[in-house]
């Protein structure tokens, strides 16, 4: 039994190539679950794209990226002297650190005199960063290779980025996140002497939804009479068929946040009951015979019980069925690229 991510390799790569062509200085972001594809596959794809720099999220992701991608690796979480000083690879000449404070810069350089850094500025995102008036000094003190700015979702970032460009002074490369290709083009028009590179994950790896699909195996099917009880919770079911499919909580099934639930009603239920508890009240993400049946009960760790309504033709054991999942929270058993 397995939950598999099927990828149409030609289509997927064409969509990556198009994203890079539209935004040639982009820096591929490879972090977390590797956007469902896994970090190793994405590192190989970044190598195929021919970019010289990728960005990972955290220090634990660094060794794998250095081993599978031949170019430079920017780690986007800030280096903290108090937390990260004993990690391997800190002085690797292909690794670029993110610095937000003078103490951290000093701790890094005390141990690794030639460690490479960018300086992150604190934007309205308010996650990490040095205040705008400190970025120039940190860049000078650290021989920073660029200024990193992480913006909230949405658009309208040009004004905020421009304030950093003007405050920092000098000619600097800027690495910007969640900034559209149009905004990057506008920044280049305003500041032709600077280089702007967008750090992009979702719009690079997940740009063409028709290029990939999650599929589950049908593991068992049996008729249900109205009122039959099933599962851990022995809930009575409507008449129809019970369909057992691969894919459960360990794969990220039913882990979507309420904001991505399909309707206001399902969002409200999810908020009121908690995501998993609400699962039996909303449609499951599995499509069987053209319908999306309800969960008979909250998904199990590696499989799910679905209540297929009477009148819908049941699938056969061994069939594969599509699963609608957000790939940033998907952990498939296998990724198959054809």
Cα separation, 204 vs 16, whole angstroms: 5
* Residues between 67 and 86 that touch ligand PLP (CB under 6 A): 76
Residues 34-73 that bind ligand PLP (CB under 6 A): 57
Binding range to ligand PLP, per CB under 6 A, among 163-171, 195-203, 240-248, 291-299? 195-203
- Which of these, 245, 277, 231, lies nearest to 258 by C-alpha position? 277
* Residue 202 in contact with ligand PLP, rule: CB under 6 A: yes
Rule CB under 6 A: choose which of 136, 142, 144, 201 binds ligand PLP: 201
Q: Which is nearer to ligand PLP, 74 or 90 (CB)?
A: 74
| DSSP label at residue 28 | E
Give the one residue of 200, 296, 305, 306 binding ligand PLP; rule: CB under 6 A.
200
The reply to whether 97 sits near ligand PLP by the rule CB under 6 A is no
When binding is defined by CB under 6 A, the residue of 97, 116, 134, 150 that contacts ligand PLP is: 150
Question: Based on the number of CB atoms within 10 Å of its own CB, is 10 exposed (0-12), middle (13-18) or buried (19 or more)?
Answer: exposed
Question: Is 283 near ligand PLP (CB under 6 A)?
Answer: no
Give whichever of 199 and 283 is closer to ligand PLP, judged by the CB atom: 199
Q: Does 155 bind ligand PLP (CB under 6 A)?
A: no
Q: What is the smallest separation between the CB atom of 330 and ligand PLP, expressed in angstroms?
A: 14
Residue closer to ligand PLP (CB basis): 72 or 297: 72
| Nearest one of 308, 336, 325 to 220, comparing CA atoms | 308
Q: How many residues bind ligand PLP (CB under 6 A)?
A: 11
As a whole number of angstroms, the distance between CA 126 and CA 146 comes to 19
29 contributes a contact to ligand PLP by CB under 6 A:
yes
Residue nearest to ligand PLP (CB): 201
Touching ligand PLP, residues 161-190 (CB under 6 A): 177
8 A C-beta contact, residue 230 and residue 243: no
Q: Minimum CB separation from ligand PLP for residue 201, in Å?
A: 3
Asked whether 187 and 155 are in contact (CB, 8 A), the reply is no
Tell me how far apart the alpha carbons of residues 290 and 295 are, in angstroms, rounded to a whole number: 16
CB of 31 to ligand PLP, least distance (A): 6
Q: Where are the alpha helices (DSSP H) in 201-258?
A: 202-205
**Phi, psi (rounded to 5 degrees) for 204:** -100, -55
Structure tokens at 265: 């009603």
Residue 157 CB, nearest approach to ligand PLP (Å): 12
* Shortest distance (Å) from residue 56 CB to ligand PLP: 10
186-225: b (≥16 Cβ within 10 Å) or e:
bbeeebeebebbbbbbebbbbbbeebbbbbbbbbebeebe
What does the binding site for ligand PLP look like in residue numbers (CB under 6 A)? 29, 31, 57, 76, 150, 177, 199-203
């Amino acid at each position: 039994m397995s939950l598999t991510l099927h990828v149409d390799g030609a289509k997927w790569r064409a969509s990556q190539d198009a994203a890079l062509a539209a935004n040639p200085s982009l820096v591929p972001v490879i972090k977390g679950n590797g956007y469902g594809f896994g970090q190793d596959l994405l590192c190989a794809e970044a190598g195929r794209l021919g970019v010289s720099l990728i960005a990972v999220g955290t220090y634990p992701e660094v060794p794998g990226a250095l081993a599978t991608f031949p170019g430079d690796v920017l780690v986007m979480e800030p280096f903290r002297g108090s937390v990260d000083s004993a990690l391997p690879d800190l002085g690797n000449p292909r690794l670029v650190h993110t610095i937000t404070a003078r103490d951290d810069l000093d701790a890094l350089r005390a141990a690794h005199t030639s460690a490479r850094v960018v300086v992150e500025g604190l934007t309205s995102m308010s996650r990490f960063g040095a205040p705008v008036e400190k970025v120039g000094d940190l860049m000078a003190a650290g021989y920073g290779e660029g200024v990193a700015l992480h913006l909230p979702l949405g658009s309208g970032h040009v004004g905020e980025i421009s304030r950093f460009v003007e405050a920092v002074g000098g000619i600097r490369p800027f690495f910007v996140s969640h900034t559209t290709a149009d905004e990057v083009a506008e920044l280049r028009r305003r500041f032709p002497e600077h280089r702007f590179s967008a750090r992009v994950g979702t719009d690079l790896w997940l740009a063409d939804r028709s290029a990939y699909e999650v599929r589950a195996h049908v593991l068992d099917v049996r008729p249900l009479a109205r009122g039959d009880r099933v599962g851990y919770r022995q809930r009575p079911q409507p008449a129809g068929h019970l369909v057992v499919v691969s894919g459960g909580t360990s794969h990220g099934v039913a882990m979507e946040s309420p904001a991505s639930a399909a309707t206001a009603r399902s969002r409200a239920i999810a908020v009121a009951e908690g995501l998993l508890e609400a699962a039996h009240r909303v449609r499951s993400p599995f499509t069987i015979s053209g319908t999306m049946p309800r969960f008979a009960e909250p998904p199990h760790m590696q499989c799910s019980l679905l209540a297929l309504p009477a009148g819908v033709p049941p699938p056969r054991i061994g069939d594969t069925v599509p699963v609608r999942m957000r790939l940033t929270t998907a952990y498939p058993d296998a990724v198959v690229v054809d």
